[in-house]
Amino acid sequence: MLRFLLTRLAVTVPTLLGMSFVAFAIVALAPGDPVQMELRAMGIVPKPEDIAAIKAAYGLDKPFFIRYAHWLARALQFDFGTSVATGRSVIAEIGHHMPATLMLSLVSLVGAVGISLALGTLAVMADRFTANCVRALSIVLVSVPPFWLALLFIHVFVLNLGWSRLVGDGSAIDLILPALTLSIGAGAAMGRFVYERVRAEACEDYVRLAIAKGVSPFGILLGHIGPRIIGSMTTVWANTLGWLLGGAVIVESIFSWPGLGQLILQAISQRDFPIIQGYLVLMGLVFFVTSFLADIVLVLADPQLRRGLADE
Amino acid sequence: MTFGIFLLFGFAILALAGGTSNLPPPEKMDLLSRLAGPSERHLLGTDHLGRDLLSRLLAAIPVSLGAALKTMAAILAIALPWGLISGLAGGRTDMVMMRLADIVMAFPTLVLALAVIGFMGASLEASIIGVAVAWWPSNARLIRALVLSANERDFVKASYLAGASRRRVIFRHVLPQILPPLAVIVSLETASVLLALSSLSFLGIGAQPPMPEWGAMLNEARPFFAHAPHMLIAPGLAVVCAVLAFNLVGEGLRDLLDKRRPYQW
């Protein structure tokens, strides 16, 4: 088991290196010279020799790969420099807002999983008419943009019914509406996947055998089909979490939830590159860890692969 | 699916009609009738600058749908050759190409799109590039899977054995096989790309005002939505219908192609 985990971890090293390279190169490829831009933002018209001096001071005159190595060495210590806009360190800014975004994404994921299992199994198990209604409903829910749903929710629940408030303090009650907004779209999308997978399994011979044995439809779903699809479901859950991490930006700005959304939108409008880079790396890392865990679950959920592990 | 095709045709006709109708031009401001509700003169009302909403809504069709189609074209331009080469070449080429795709896929898609837009500066072009950069690897992977299974068929092997050139096999035997499932993917992906682009415009980092675009229109409507809810309804419904159309066509195609029947009690 330990050996399995270690080999899996070793395989991820090139991917992690590649990710860090993408995050570094994307800044280098961005249009505009950062030194000139920063000086101009401070209202200074720079002379060429000043620019050269500043570049030397920041190590920007060095070749690309040496700069990458330096950057990587600092990134490994979670040092992404300081925000151009506020002057505070990037990791402090992001660390301050990250828990709220992670919380929102995780709660939405739980909601989305619940919705998807309900919609997916209903679409397979129910009679034809209900099933078609459920499928139609899922397609409509997938098509509704989360930001518009959020605005509708605010209109109905905050302005008309007064059940909730718009300016919150980040407590659990303020989490309900944004989480609901995110989980409906994600849940409907995953529900389609659950439907696909269950339907595909229901075409297999072992289901036919179970029916012939007289196992109840629910028993087949839980005892036969469930274990077969749990592995691929965890992969989908991990992917959905990735979507939610990004989608959180959309609803956070509407519900003024104190997550990373506001920070990153500000950073984009102020062209605050260190913040954007740190955001990309850390979100990538969170998503990477969840995908890795899902990968392990995928192996553990499969009896054949698991037996292979025990034999090693 | 019929409804989806009907919706798409509806959008095409409305886009053409918008250019020829006698509605006020989408940029024309009428500051005396700002935030007016639906009336005879302005069928869907006006926005905070007194611009006619119906006219802006129609003018936004080519912008919003065009952006989604351009993005999808860009995604396919990368993903199709990538998936084809990777699937057909096999071996080390395949491994390296898929590894590269995996690296891009290791970032959450919207986060990567946001970062690309952040470095390029907010504009509609930047959001198109950002979404394309973040979306292509998953499509390349799907196409590779399709190519692999298409390449396994006996008649493909037979035509190799019969001495057909590589190009002939690809264009005559492999591509025609993957086109139907690819149509499903393209349709469903266009729906998700459209959603992403309108979300980015809504956040103010996609299409910039005064360009008429559904997401951007909704963003402009935000400060006024307590007094003028009509500004929210129409553009929102437009996005929903457009995304729905692509989703319905995709799902419909998939049902048509699916020959399996599940065993039932």
Q: Give pLDDT tens digits for A241-268.
A: 989 998 888 888 888 888 888 888 888 8
Q: Which amino acid is at B2?
A: T
What is the pTM (predicted TM-score) of this model? 0.86
**Confidence tier at B37 by pLDDT (50, 70, 90):** low
Nearest CB among A31, A207, A245 relative to B120 is that of: A31
Give yes or no for residue B112 having a pLDDT over 60: yes
Question: Average pLDDT in the A144-154 region?
Answer: 88
Report pLDDT for B137. 93
Nearest to B198 among A22, A145, A268 (CB): A145
Tell me the ipTM for this assembly.
Answer: 0.83
Distance CA A276, CA A266 (A): 10
Interface test with chain B among A147, A225, A235, A253, by most B beta carbons within 10 Å: A147
pLDDT at A51 over 80: no
Of B221, B118, B213, which is closest to residue A267 (Cα–Cα)?
Answer: B118
Cross-strand partners of A82: A89
Question: Quick check: B205 pLDDT over 70?
Answer: yes
Evaluate if residue B73 carries a pLDDT over 70.
yes
Position B76: which residue type?
Answer: L
Inter-residue contact B82 to B136 (CB < 8 Å): yes
A126 vs B: CB within 8 A: no
Which of B36, B61, B62 minimizes the C-alpha distance to B50?
Answer: B36
Query: Mean pLDDT across the stretch B4-28?
Result: 73
Substitution target in B103, B136, B253 with the highest count of A β-carbons within 10 Å is B103
- In chain B, whose CA is at the least distance from the CA of A149? B236
Q: What is the pLDDT of residue B36?
A: 66
The answer to whether B118 and A271 are in contact (CB under 8 A) is yes
Angle between helices B175-202 and B124-151 (to 10 degrees): 160
Taking the C-alpha atoms of residue A10 and residue B221, their distance in angstroms, rounded to an integer, is 51
- What are the tens digits of pLDDT across the range A255-312? 888 888 888 888 888 878 888 888 999 999 999 999 888 888 888 877 777 777 666 5
Chain-chain contact of A145 with B239 (C-beta, under 8 angstroms)? yes
**What tens digit of pLDDT does each residue of A164-217 get?**
666 656 566 778 888 999 999 999 999 988 988 888 888 889 988 998 998 888
